[in-house]
């Protein structure tokens, strides 16, 4: 156990090896942690568990450090198996322990475990005195599941926020002031872009609601990654910034897929046009770039230019899948344009342009396309296309 603050302890698992999460959907280059917490007061409270592959190690740790018979209650902030997965194994050993969760959490726990446990439903503002500290519950519906909630430990002033404010990051230290800040923020924004972005408007409202509660917050302890104890509000402020519909950083992204480099050559010429008008850009070939990293870059981009050569009257699959993913993650409201080469029919760039519009991007320019390898003259037209796009920003 590692003391977080005033008898609040971390009893989680560090998963150094994890490289894919949510099945294989999300890349986790720096591993992850499953953070579970113990509060030792007159009552001993366990908050969340860990992913089921680690259930034995987790329960052994609890037995050694706390004693299972000493656990008076369990709070389940969120029932996704990376946090509640070990609950079944733990409850086999302490089956009568009361569980506290949100109303949606009750359904979720029953749906996952099919057991008749002692489940107590709590809602926003409900509190539970456990001795010197009091637990206050705040529902965090769709941050990022219907059942999500946070538990505020009033007294210790620790927010146990579950997935919110987390990162898939497993450094040697558990605390934000002891890790590389660039790595930390890279993982925090990647988490936001890939998991939380669909719920952006709700997040903005929820943060305003939490701010209005005027809680004294000394520590924010999420269920993945490091614990925010140095200026914890910094991550709340970042979430607020990221949740604005017009959030972006100061660069454009050109993303393309290519068969024989004609579309790639067009991409480079368009980037030159952007640069001529003082717009920095990053170029990515979507077929060889990690999808989760690419989504993070598209989330941060202030504009997106997307290209593919035409194949079978459409686009290469990495571009069509990316457009689908962007729609599902509600990546929208950015200036965008399309381009590409073709061999005979040339529908690809038009498909991209239409799909970008359907996704809610702002598309003003007609897509640019050329047959076969672009000539010097055509590459100049691509440069001009980039310049024109830059002027519109």
HEC string for 258-294: CCCCHHHHHHHHHHHHHHHCCCCEEEEECCCCCHHHH
Residue number, 34 or 242, with CB nearest to Fe ion:
34
82 binds Fe ion (CB under 5 A): yes
Please confirm, yes or no, whether 114 is among the known catalytic residues.
no
For 9, phi then psi, to 5°, come to -120, 145
Active-site pick, 41, 82, 257, 297: 82
Closest CA to 263 of 287, 279, 293: 287
Find the part of the chain contacting Fe ion (CB under 5 A) among 79-87, 103-111, 283-291, 369-377.
79-87
Cα 4 to Cα 75, 173, 239, 245, 364, distances in angstroms:
17, 12, 22, 34, 52
Active site residue 41: no
Q: Catalytic annotation on 224?
A: yes
Cα dihedral 345→291→54→11 (10° resolution): -150
Considering only residues 145 to 164 of the shown chain, the ones binding Fe ion according to CB under 5 A are 163
Residue nearest to Fe ion (CB): 80
CB of 387 vs Fe ion, minimal distance in Å: 44
The region of 55-63, 82-90, 204-212, 377-385 touching Fe ion under the rule CB under 5 A is: 82-90
Q: Is 364 helix (H, G, I), strand (E, B) or coil?
A: coil
**In the stretch 254-293, what mask flags binding to Fe ion with x, by CB under 5 A?**
----------------------------------------
* Residue 80 annotated as catalytic: yes
Helical segments of the chain, H only = 55-65, 81-84, 87-93, 103-113, 181-191, 200-212, 233-242, 262-276, 291-300, 317-328, 348-358, 376-392
Catalytic annotation, pick one of 34, 37, 78, 147: 78
Q: What distance in Å separates the CA atoms of residue 109 and residue 97, rounded to the nearest whole number?
A: 14
Residue placing its CB nearer to Fe ion in the complex, 82 or 187: 82
**Block residue for tokens 């939490």:** 210
From the CB of 259, what's the least distance to Fe ion, in Å? 38
CB closer to Fe ion out of 145 and 389 = 145
Cα 68 from Cα 359, distance rounded (Å):
50
The two counts, helices (H) then strands (E), for the chain are 12, 24
For Fe ion, the closer of residues 36 and 176 by Cβ is 36
Residue number with CB closer to Fe ion (80 or 187): 80
As a dihedral over the C-alpha atoms of residue 12, residue 17, residue 19, residue 21, rounded to 10 degrees, the angle is: -30
In the bound complex, what is the minimum distance in angstroms from residue 79's beta carbon to Fe ion?
Answer: 9
Per-residue contact flags (x/-) with Fe ion for residues 111 to 150, judged by CB under 5 A? ----------------------------------------
Q: Which of 80, 139, 147, 257 is catalytic?
A: 80
Q: Which of 141, 69, 133, 152 is nearest to 107 (CA)?
A: 141
Quick check: is 177 catalytic?
Answer: no
Nearest approach in angstroms of CB 222 to Fe ion is 9
Contact 383, 339 (CB under 8 A): no
Is position 78 annotated as part of the catalytic site? yes
Q: Measured from the CB of residue 22, what is the shortest distance to Fe ion in angstroms?
A: 9
Nearer to Fe ion, 80 or 139 (CB): 80
- Active-site pick, 41, 48, 187, 224: 224
Which of these ranges, 57-65, 80-88, 330-338, 352-360, lies near Fe ion under the rule CB under 5 A? Answer: 80-88
> Annotated catalytic residue: which of 3, 22, 177, 230?
22
Three-state secondary-structure class, residue 18: coil
DSSP 97-131: --EEE-HHHHHHHHHHH-----EEE--TT-EEE-S
Q: Which is nearer to Fe ion, 140 or 253 (CB)?
A: 140
Number of residues that bind Fe ion (CB under 5 A): 3
| Nearest distance in Å: CB 148, Fe ion | 7
Question: Which residues in the 160-199 window bind Fe ion by CB under 5 A?
Answer: 163
Q: Which residues bind Fe ion (CB under 5 A)?
A: 80, 82, 163
Catalytic residues: 22, 78, 80, 82, 144, 163, 191, 224
């Amino acid at each position: 156990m590692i003391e977080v603050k005033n008898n609040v302890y971390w009893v989680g698992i560090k998963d150094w090896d994890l490289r894919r999460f949510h099945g294989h959907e999300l890349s986790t280059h720096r591993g992850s942690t499953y953070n579970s917490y113990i509060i030792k007061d007159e009552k001993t409270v366990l908050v969340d568990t860990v992913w089921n592959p680690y259930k034995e190690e987790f329960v052994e740790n609890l037995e050694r450090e706390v004693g299972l018979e000493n656990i008076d209650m369990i709070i389940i902030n969120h029932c996704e198996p990376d946090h509640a997965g070990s609950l079944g194994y733990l409850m086999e050993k302490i089956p009568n322990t009361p569980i506290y969760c949100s109303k949606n959490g009750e359904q979720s726990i029953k749906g996952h475990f099919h057991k008749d446990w002692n489940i107590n439903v709590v809602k926003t503002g409900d509190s539970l005195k456990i001795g010197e500290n009091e637990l206050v519950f705040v529902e965090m519906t769709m941050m990022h599941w219907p059942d999500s909630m946070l538990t505020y430990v009033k007294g210790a002033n620790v927010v146990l926020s579950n997935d919110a404010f987390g990162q898939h990051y497993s450094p040697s230290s558990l605390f934000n002031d002891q890790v590389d800040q660039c790595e930390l923020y890279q993982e925090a924004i990647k988490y936001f872009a890939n998991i939380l972005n669909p719920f952006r408007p709700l997040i903005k409202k929820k943060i305003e609601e939490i701010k209005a509660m005027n809680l004294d917050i000394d520590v924010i302890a999420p269920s993945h990654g490091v614990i925010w104890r140095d200026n914890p509000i910094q991550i709340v402020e970042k979430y607020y910034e990221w949740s604005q519909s017009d959030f972006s950083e100061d660069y454009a992204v050109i993303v393309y897929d290519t068969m024989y480099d004609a579309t790639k050559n067009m991409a480079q010429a368009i980037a030159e046009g952007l640069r001529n008008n003082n717009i920095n850009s990053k170029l990515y070939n979507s077929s060889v770039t990690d999808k989760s990293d690419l989504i993070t870059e598209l989330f941060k981009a202030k504009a997106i230019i997307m290209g593919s050569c035409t194949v079978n009257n459409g686009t290469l699959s990495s571009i069509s899948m990316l457009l689908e993913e962007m729609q599902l993650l509600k990546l929208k409201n950015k200036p965008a344009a399309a381009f590409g080469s073709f061999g005979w029919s040339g529908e690809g760039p038009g498909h991209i342009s239409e799909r970008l519009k359907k996704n809610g991007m702002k598309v003003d320019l007609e897509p640019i396309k050329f047959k076969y390898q672009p000539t010097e003259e055509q590459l100049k037209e691509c440069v001009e296309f980039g310049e024109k796009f830059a002027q519109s920003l």
